[in-house]
Amino acid sequence: MLTHFPELFLPPSKKLDETPFVYWGFECGDGWFTLIKELAEKLNQLPESEEFKVVQVKEKLGTLRFYMRAKDGRKSDALPHSILDLIRQVESQSAVTCEACGNPGKLSHKGGWWKTRCSKTQCATT
Ligand SMILES: [Zn+2]
């Protein structure tokens, strides 16, 4: 992912507080790889996204979260609607895509955690 979309994912700054992404990477399962890749491809085609970079990709409460920030380091920038719409689409898709394998899945509450998984037993235990 980093080699395919360096402009999008690799931030110019190396400071830990500004670039958690470089240190933590993708904090989610491989099943969402295609979702993230498709989102990255769409973002690459948006002229607006040139001013922004991805700072963090992770799983939270069972769905995918995708955080972006302005490249020049300005904080709390409101992302353009075009970008927000793409991110919301992929976040809602992640609620029906098994985080472990990418098959159609279901968001459910198990053992104190929200997870999106398919019906395969090996996915349910990851
Ligand atoms: Zn699965």
* Å from CA of 33 to ligand 1 middle: 13
Percent of the chain with pLDDT over 70: 79
β-strand partners of 102: none
* Å from CA of 49 to ligand 1 middle: 31
Per the model's pLDDT, the better-predicted residue between 56 and 22 turns out to be: 56
Q: Return the closest-CA partner of residue 95 out of 115, 109, 74, 71.
A: 115
Tens digit of each residue's pLDDT (9 = 90 or more) over 44-87: 899 888 888 888 899 999 999 998 888 776 655 678 999 999 99
Mean pLDDT, the chain, whole residue set: 83
What pLDDT does residue 123 have? 93
pTM of the predicted structure, to 2 decimals: 0.80
Does 16 have pLDDT greater than 90?
A: no
* Å from CA of 6 to ligand 1 middle: 29
Strand order in the sheet with 63-70: 26-27, 52-60, 63-70
**CA–CA dist 59, 126 (Å, integer):** 13
Per the model's pLDDT, the better-predicted residue between 97 and 74 turns out to be: 97
What pLDDT does residue 15 have? 46
What pLDDT does residue 19 have? 46
